[in-house]
Amino acid sequence: MAFMVKTMVGGQLKNLTGSLGGGEDKGDVDKSAAEAQGMSREEYEEYQKQLVEEKMERDAQFTQRKAERATLRSHFRDKYRLPKNETDESQIQMAGGDVELPRELAKMIEEDTEEEEERASVLGQLASLPGLDLGSLKDKAQATLGDLKQSAEKCHVM
């Protein structure tokens, strides 16, 4: 922690005093940059490596998130039969081509799909009608079917 504070504050103060001092010779840029940060040359190189690695990790995570969003958008484009977007496809390919949705998003899509399938069915359409009681309708249908079976048993022709 103290190291980070020293590098952040110390470097800023040395830069400020260096700019006030006038013309410095910029012969050894790495050495002066390391000294400006208050580190030895090896520490400075290690610090720069860490910065590069962290940036690469952040970029990879950002690319992954962009690809996940593109996958979600392409899913909805397929679902609603909208034209495909080349930008989304290129983002998916940049992330490796096989991008899975996060669990939460996949679960939400699955629930939406189930609800839409339920609404698309005949019973789903009947349930959405106002003033219709499916329970009573089912009871009436079963009673009618029972009556038909009894009348069929009484019929001698069959």
Contact partners, residue 34, CB within 8 Å, separation at least 6: 40, 41, 43, 44, 45
> What integer pLDDT is reported at residue 118 of this predicted model?
74
**Tens digits of per-residue pLDDT, 43-80?**
889 999 999 999 999 999 999 888 888 888 888 888 78
Are the C-beta atoms of 32 and 15 separated by less than 8 Å?
A: no
The angle, 0 to 180 degrees and rounded to 10, between the axes of the packed helices 41-79 and 86-94 is 140
Tokens representing 45 are: 């190189």
pTM (predicted TM-score): 0.47
For the chain, the average pLDDT equals 77
